Each structure stands twice: as C-alpha cells, then as structure tokens.
Structure 1
Amino acid sequence: MEQKELQQFITIFENSSLSEIEITCEQYSLHMKKPQAHTVVPEGYQPISHHAGPQHIHAQPAVKVDSGTKTITSPIVGTFYRTPSPDSPPYVEVGDTVHKGDVVCTLEAMKLMNQLEAEYDCEIVAVLADQGALVEFGQPLFEVKPL
C-alpha cells in the first residue's frame, strides 16, 4: 500500500461514523479504531435507529454466493453511482460482459470520485445497490458470474 492510499483510508475513516475498521488483503492488513466516548443516557431514554438508505480503486475480493456467482463488494464507505454523470448511461447493466480493469461504478467519498474496477472477467448477474445509495465497507454491490 502506498503512502497516498494509506492517507486516504485514514482520512475517510476519521470522517466516517465508523468506530472501527479492518482491511485485509494478500499484501497488507490495516486495523483502525477510534477511541470510544462515554455517553450519559437519561433514565427511560429509548434510542432511535436510523438507516441510511476519477480515482481508480479495485473491488474487494469477491464473496462466493449461490449458483456459481460471486459478489463485488464496496472497498470504501461512500455514495454509489451507476453512471459517470447524471445524463450518462450506466457503466454496466445486467447481462453485460465485463473485463478485468473495466469500471463498474463510481463511489464518492469525501467529495472524491473513485472508479471501481472489475478484478476479473465476469458477467453482471444483478446490481445490488441503488443509484445514489450510501454503501458501507464490504457491502455487496454486484452479483457476477466469473468467465
């Protein structure tokens, strides 16, 4: 991992709501944890649960799912975009053949647009994230069939 990539991971993590993250691949392992603040909660308080619906980065190693397909997961926390711009067609559609290095989507993190590239030749079986959705680290974005 280069110094610039490491600094980007640290900056994204510091500005995220995550308290801990671990990134592991063949070449390196990175573990970051924010100090926990102690919160005083009033008696009888019920917390409310909230759900949030070009730099090149590589997809995380695929996770195996049913029927010989794999998933391409998000390597960062950010906003998922299927298109390079609002007026452009999607990078990929269901049924498209994608080659290693082809851009499959854009992930925006901290005003940086990161293009996610395919790690291997594959066919897009399903798009698992919605345009403009906030995605988490490791969240499945595409179901693919390796070629």
Structure 2
Amino acid sequence: MLKVQEIRELIKLVDQSSIDEFVYEIDGSKIQMKKNNSTTIVSQVSSFPQEADLIPAVKTVPAAQPAPAVQVQEAALETGKAPVNEAAVQANLHKITSPMVGTFYASPTPDTDVYVKAGDRVSKDSIVCIVEAMKLFNEIEAEVDGEIVEVLVKNGQLVEYGQPLFLVKPE
C-alpha cells in the first residue's frame, strides 16, 4: 500500500507530465489517475476499508491553481508593510498542504512548544505539524528548504485533504 506522501508525489508527477492517464496496481490495491484538461482525478480501490477512510476514494484535485493573494495582503496589513507585488510574492511561496482529512496539531503534546512558527527556517525533512486521523498521528514534513512565512490554520482545527497549512518561502 502506498503512503499518502507517495500518492501526493505521483499526483504531482502526473499533473506535470504530458500523459493523460496513469494506473498503478499492487497487492489488490489500484490507483488510477486521469487528467481532464485542467483537472486531475485520483481514485484508489483498496481491499482494506480502514485505509480507504484515510484517503478519499475519489478526489478531484485542481491542477495548478494560483493561491489567493488575500493572505499575503492581510499579513502585510498586520505588519504595516505594503507588499511589492502580491502576485509575484504569492507565486514564489510553497504551500504545505494536508495529505488527509483530520485535526491539525502544531505541537507534539499540548504542553510543549510548537514545531514551527512564522519566521522559522525549515529543511525538507523537518516536521512542521501533526494531522490526526482516526487516532493515528501523522507527522507532516516541510517538503522544501526555506522559511515559514505564515501558519494558515489554528491548533486543534479540522483540516481537509489538500488544504494549505503553511506558506514557505523556498531557498
């Protein structure tokens, strides 16, 4: 069975490639991805029903949508600095997204410090948060080297599959 991170990488590769359809089958599990103009459709069939709850059976993932510039503008208003070019700034930021539906936790336990906060530097294998799904605590890695620009969710908040959690300025 593929891990969620591996499936996310496959989605990125299929989305960036010129192929229109991708099918992967192993040990009774099947992953099928089809591109349809600006949409990538991902489906997974598994013989393990509890794992199917972690990854939606059919999920439509928009291909390369520009992120809203509202978050950058709000951050600029809070700091009192005007953004130079919101679209350019937003285009250079990497979004760390939730690989599953669950509860966002900013720290490993309630009485410890958060993994990261705005201004912290991270490497691609740095743990930035935990997403709990079905009593499983999944550590989420940064995926890129850079600086955390903004934390987009609050501790204990429910998050959706693909929801942006952090904005990172890559190095």
1:63/1:143 Cα in 2 relative to 1: closer, same or farther (>3 Å)? farther
Across the aligned residues of Structure 1 and Structure 2, the Cα RMSD in angstroms comes to 2.6
SS, match of residue 3 in structure 2 = helix
Distance 2:65 2:115 in 1: 21
1:114/1:96 Cα in 2 relative to 1: closer, same or farther (>3 Å)? same
Distance 2:108 2:66 in 1: 28
Question: Any gaps of 5 or more consecutive residues in structure 1?
Answer: 10-22, 34-61
SS, match of residue 24 in structure 1 = helix
**How many residues matched?**
102
- After TM superposition, give the deviation of residue 32 of structure 1 in Å: 4.6
Question: Any gaps of 5 or more consecutive residues in structure 2?
Answer: 15-21, 23-32, 34-41, 46-63, 68-86
In the alignment, structure 1 residue 31 sits paired with structure 2 residue 55: no
1:145/1:4 Cα in 2 relative to 1: closer, same or farther (>3 Å)? closer
- Normalized per residue, which structure has more helix? 2
Determine the structure 2 residue equivalent to 1:112: 136
Q: TM-score, normalised by structure 1?
A: 0.61
Determine the structure 1 residue equivalent to 2:105: 81
What letter corresponds to residue 143 of structure 2 in structure 1? E
Q: TM-score, normalised by structure 2?
A: 0.53
Distance 1:120 1:78 in 2: 22
- After TM superposition, give the deviation of residue 130 of structure 1 in Å: 0.7
Contact 1:101 1:118 in 2 (8 A): yes
Determine the structure 2 residue equivalent to 1:47: none
- After TM superposition, give the deviation of residue 63 of structure 1 in Å: 7.1
